[in-house]
């Protein structure tokens, strides 16, 4: 490649580079940086092909009106990076050949702009009611007060402060038994289950039962950790323990307080039966306590974990009470399992320490209880509004599920074309979730929708249900 | 069990309960809650044995001087939880039998109180210099300004805002090529490698090469993801590519800019050779860009990823620049691998969204660059001080490693009893790390210590090195 061609390329390249973000300030250093970048880009683009010589540093410096230092530094950098090679007594040459590249996609994605006006898919709390001011205040306080070694590598089991706060909260509010069990901090129920399943596998337990219908992410977590999953039917008393006993499973995930999505509360007999089963198979019950804080008729049922802290593990999070974006949850496991949990998850990271400390402060200041009280009032009212609206707008439909949680089951007349209903609703801006989305055998499931009202503003309830009625026609 | 015995137990139980944290306020509800808790505890403790009858509600209400409602509610709750069973026309009885429980350990752990005065183990930035005020301000700002659906379930690949900011940063500051690669957000280098290794395994790559010596957590991440690990020696030019080619590995983790712990910068020939190797074996180079921002003699060498964005993956984090407690890192992978990455990690959670947005704001406001400039000045000065102090105090020792990063290698005279030195230092409050901690064959490693100065205050350098000298005697 001839020298004067390269000169032309240079002029162009430097124009393209523009002033740019001079990370090291302007002046010589900035010019050196721009030159380096321009050269690197030209080589990557193929405008400077492998084997091409670059101008002697003195000549290029004259062309560019800069000091020779700028050019020799840029060349040196690119030699260090392997794009150029320099041999004494010979021209510096391009020593790199890119594969051909397609045009670059713009990595800046537009922020999510929901085409959906009313999202009544289940699983969300009221995102508009997130206590922003208090959360920011909690983060600010702990960021100022944390000791400096709290900013070092986090304890994989979680920060001691949050573990203690959670232990007190779970004893007081959920009736957990922490005498022979310990709390660790994780990113949420799914993360906690993933870690648990890896641990079970290391302990020789390869078969896990899950509720059918149930939350699909739990199945994903289990299979992702290498377990085989066995769906077990749920009836009006909750998980059918006799069916469970016929599977090869030695561990089961169960939503005892409020099964998802049926809303069933596991009956006292079944609770006792489940714990007996776990003892008989030398296995574990994994209690998914995902939204038990929301019970509108009486106090939440205490956790099963309290019935046998050696056989029942407890998973919970703030995803349904504060926000899933916080990524903060907990795992209560028998103390005897703690070493195995750590060994099976050697690189599992605890959530960011300042967030852990912020949650501890948020609970310790009473803000979490206050938030839950307000949320219970809000959701109770909204649930009543939803039921009234449904009764008035869709008299043929039937709602099931206790006065609890963030969703109801809406049973529709047999023969209703659910897929068509979901499509019609979506096209009008209403996201719906059929019960079949959570079953292992979609064809055998009742004709029902799972309606989440957590993130549906009260004012939107009538319009959303009218859209649902229209979609059903 | 006789009725009057139970009465005595009740009086005791309610005394034990005390006023307690009445989550639902005082009054009837508070009393109901205390009674429920007291009963539950008595059953768990075995003070009320299985089969024992509890008093009729009217009788107990009289004994306690409360309304009968309080008692029936408490009984009802415990029936729902399976601790009591009630049959029409018969006494309510305890239906639960605990296993015997050892005394409860106190779950509130004391905060870490380092017995170590001087920690010169490598791997930490200056925790005292964490920009607390600006970080808290960034969190406060984004907590106020985030749109409400940002508080919903996080995009597993990371928030678009941070991905765009990181893409711009990595192009500008590290020379990354993002035309055919995409950035995702993870919890750090270890987390990013774990996800990558799970992906490689799903793609049929089961053998991974790592540098020897190298950072043990990377090996843990790989084996934890189910890969077999092959250590490959490092010499003065970095990873030995010819040795690599003799392993069955089809992927390799390499610290190209500043190998840990030797400090070697991968030579241009080796960089080119590594990329050729990856093409030949149809494999990948995984670049661990863990502390490349800290180069004190000239600009950091650009990332290898820019040489072939289809064959080189790039891992980085803010763990060495801001704090490992933040749990924020990135993974740059070929766009073609993105679907496989997601499929192989179906339940991997992105870091908390507000932290992601805070880091984006922190970078976009120029605070990250400012922090790095200040940190470079601080670490350059500290490194000079360390070298001067070592030269004066330990003239027989030799330091290697470029003017970069957060650690140096200190070579000691052959025959030095390193284990005894480490023990002696520890007993005097100085934590030391021998090079052998990072090698696969400890016996063949040079007699050297890895001295981290990131988190060692300048004022402590002389005292720490005096302790080291004393320990060597």
**Do A339 and A320 fall within a single domain?**
yes
User: Which residues in B lie closer than 8 A to residue A143 (C-beta atoms)?
Assistant: 132, 135-136, 139
Q: Is residue B292 a contact partner of residue B375, using CB atoms and an 8 Å limit?
A: no
**Do A308 and A208 fall within a single domain?**
yes
Please compute the mean of the pLDDT values over residues B334-362 and round it to a whole number.
95
**Do A11 and A160 fall within a single domain?**
no
**Do A81 and A45 fall within a single domain?**
yes
Check CB contact under 8 Å for B85 and A268. yes
**Do B172 and B191 fall within a single domain?**
yes
pLDDT at B89: 66
Provide the β-strand partners of residue B450: B409
* Total number of domains in chain B: 3
| pLDDT score of B109 more than 50 | no
The rounded mean pLDDT for chain A is 87
Check CB contact under 8 Å for B99 and A308. yes
Judged by DSSP in three states, B210 sits in: strand
Instruction: List, for residues A193-215, the tens digit of each pLDDT value.
Output: 999 999 999 999 999 999 999 99
Q: Could you tell me which of B172, B164, B185 has the C-alpha nearest to residue B332?
A: B185
Check CB contact under 8 Å for A177 and B44. yes
Check CB contact under 8 Å for B224 and A190. no
Structural domain of residue B443, as residue ranges?
Answer: 118-128+369-472
- Could you give the percent of chain A with pLDDT greater than 90? 66
**Do A310 and A334 fall within a single domain?**
yes
Residue B196 to chain A, least CA–CA distance (Å): 13
Q: Is residue B178 a contact partner of residue A104, using CB atoms and an 8 Å limit?
A: yes
Determine which helix (DSSP H) or strand (DSSP E) holds B5, and give its type and residue range: helix B3-17
| pLDDT score of A175 more than 80 | yes
Distance between CA atoms of residues A207 and B380, nearest Å: 55
Domain boundary among A307, A333, A365: A365
Q: Give exposure, B45-81, as e/b (b: 16+ Cβ within 10 Å).
A: eeebeeebbbbebeebbeebebeeebbbbbbbbbebb
pLDDT at A131: 98
**Do B413 and B301 fall within a single domain?**
no
pLDDT at A98: 58
User: Which residues in A lie closer than 8 A to residue B83 (C-beta atoms)?
Assistant: 307
pLDDT at B104: 29
For the ranges A386-390, A397-401, B5-9, B357-361, which has the lowest average pLDDT?
A: B5-9
pLDDT at A104: 30
**Do B158 and B90 fall within a single domain?**
no
Domain boundary among B365, B397, B413: B365
Domain boundary among B365, B393, B420: B365
**Do B348 and B405 fall within a single domain?**
no
| pLDDT score of B433 more than 60 | yes
Mutate to test the interface with A, among B51, B152, B311 (most CBs of A within 10 A): B152
**Do A306 and A190 fall within a single domain?**
yes
Residue B411 to chain A, least CA–CA distance (Å): 26
Instruction: List, for residues A36-70, the tens digit of each pLDDT value.
Output: 888 888 887 777 877 788 888 888 888 888 888 88
DSSP A454: T
Per-residue H/E/C for chain A: CCHHHHHHHHHHHHHHHCCCCCCCCCHHHHHHHHHHHHHHHHHHHCCCCCCCECCCHHHHHHHHCCCHHHHHHHHHHHHHHCCEECCCCCCCEECCCCCCCCCCCCCCCCCCCCCCCEECCCCCCCHHHCCHHHHHHHHHHHHHHCCHHHHCCCCCCCCHHHHHHHHHHHHHHHCCCCCCEEEEEECCHHHHHHHHHHHHHHCCCCEEEEEECCCHHHHHHHHHCCCEEEEEEEECCEECHHHHHCCCCCEEEECCCCCCCCCCCCCHHHHHHHHHHHHHCCCEEEEECCCCCCECCCCCCCCHHHHCCCCEEEEEECCCCCCHHHCCEEEEEEHHHHHHHHHHCCCCCCCCHHHHHHHHHHHHCCHHHHHHHHHHHHHHHHHHHHHHHHHHHCCCCEEECCCECCEEEEECCCCCCHHHHHHHHHHCCEECCEHHHHCCCHHHCCCEEEEECCCCCHHHHHHHHHHHHHHHC
Strands (E), A339-389: none
pLDDT at B70: 86
User: Is the ipTM, as predicted for this complex, more than 0.85?
Assistant: no
Instruction: List, for residues A222-235, the tens digit of each pLDDT value.
Output: 999 999 999 999 99
| pLDDT score of B349 more than 90 | no
Please compute the mean of the pLDDT values over residues B182-198 and round it to a whole number.
97
Question: For the domain that residue A283 is a member of, what is the CATH number?
Answer: 3.40.640.10
Mutate to test the interface with A, among B198, B268, B269, B278 (most CBs of A within 10 A): B268
Instruction: List, for residues B24-44, the tens digit of each pLDDT value.
Output: 445 777 788 888 888 888 887
**Do A196 and A143 fall within a single domain?**
yes
Please compute the mean of the pLDDT values over residues B104-111 and round it to a whole number.
30
Check CB contact under 8 Å for B345 and A224. yes
The rounded mean pLDDT for chain B is 87
Q: Is residue B192 a contact partner of residue B330, using CB atoms and an 8 Å limit?
A: yes
pLDDT at A10: 62
Check CB contact under 8 Å for A355 and B352. yes
DSSP-based helix, strand, coil % in chain B, nearest 5: 45, 15, 40
Question: For the domain that residue A57 is a member of, what is the CATH number?
Answer: 1.10.10.10
Check CB contact under 8 Å for B353 and A325. yes
Distance between CA atoms of residues A215 and A223, nearest Å: 13
Question: For the domain that residue A123 is a member of, what is the CATH number?
Answer: 3.90.1150.10
| pLDDT score of B141 more than 50 | yes
- Could you give the percent of chain A with pLDDT greater than 70? 90
**Do B183 and B261 fall within a single domain?**
yes
Distance between CA atoms of residues A209 and A198, nearest Å: 15
Distance between CA atoms of residues A419 and B286, nearest Å: 44
């Amino acid at each position: 490649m001839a020298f004067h061609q390269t000169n032309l390329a240079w002029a162009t390249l430097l124009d393209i580079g523009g002033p740019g973000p001079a990370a090291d300030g302007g002046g010589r250093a900035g010019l050196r940086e721009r030159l380096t970048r321009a050269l690197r880009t030209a080589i990557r683009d193929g405008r400077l092909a492998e084997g091409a010589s670059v101008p002697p540093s003195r000549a290029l410096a004259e062309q560019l009106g800069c000091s020779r230092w700028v050019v020799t530094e840029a060349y040196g950098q690119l030699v260090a990076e392997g794009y150029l090679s320099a041999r004494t007594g010979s021209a510096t040459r391009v020593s790199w050949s890119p594969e051909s590249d397609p045009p670059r996609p713009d990595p800046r994605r537009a922020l999510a702009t929901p085409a959906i006006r009313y999202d009544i898919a289940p699983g969300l709390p009221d995102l508009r009611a997130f206590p922003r001011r208090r959360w920011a205040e909690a983060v600010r306080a702990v960021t100022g007060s944390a000791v400096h070694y709290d900013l070092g590598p986090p304890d994989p089991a979680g920060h001691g402060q949050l573990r203690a706060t959670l232990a007190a909260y779970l004893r007081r509010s959920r009736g957990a038994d922490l005498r022979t069990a310990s709390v660790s901090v994780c990113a949420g129920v799914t993360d906690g289950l993933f870690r648990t399943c890896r641990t079970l596998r290391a302990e020789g337990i390869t078969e896990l039962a899950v509720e059918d219908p149930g939350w699909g992410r739990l199945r994903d977590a289990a299979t992702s950790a290498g377990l085989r999953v066995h769906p077990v039917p749920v009836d009006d008393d909750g998980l059918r323990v006799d069916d469970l006993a016929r599977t090869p499973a030695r561990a089961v995930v169960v939503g005892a307080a409020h099964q998802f999505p049926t809303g069933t509360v596991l009956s006292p007999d079944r609770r006792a039966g489940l714990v007996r089963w776990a003892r008989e198979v030398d296995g574990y019950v994994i209690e998914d306590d995902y939204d038990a804080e929301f019970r509108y008729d009486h106090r939440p049922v205490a956790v099963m974990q309290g019935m046998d802290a050696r056989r029942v593990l407890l998973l919970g999070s703030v995803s349904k009470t504060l926000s899933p974006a916080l990524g903060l949850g907990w795992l209560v496991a028998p103390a005897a399992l703690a070493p195995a949990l750590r060994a099976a998850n050697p690189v599992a990271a605890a959530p960011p320490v300042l967030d852990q400390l912020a949650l501890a402060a948020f609970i310790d200041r009473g803000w979490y209880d206050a938030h839950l009280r307000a949320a219970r009032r809000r959701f109770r009212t909204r649930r009543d509004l939803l039921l009234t609206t449904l009764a008035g707008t869709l008299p043929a439909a039937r709602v099931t599920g206790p006065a609890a949680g963030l969703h109801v089951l809406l049973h529709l007349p047999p023969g209703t074309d659910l897929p068509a209903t979901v499509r019609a609703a979506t096209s009008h801006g209403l996201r719906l979730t059929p019960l079949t989305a959570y079953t292992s055998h979609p064809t055998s499931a009742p004709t029902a929708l799972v309606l989440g009202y957590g993130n549906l503003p009260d004012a939107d309830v009538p319009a959303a249900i009218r859209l649902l009625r229209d979609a059903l026609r």
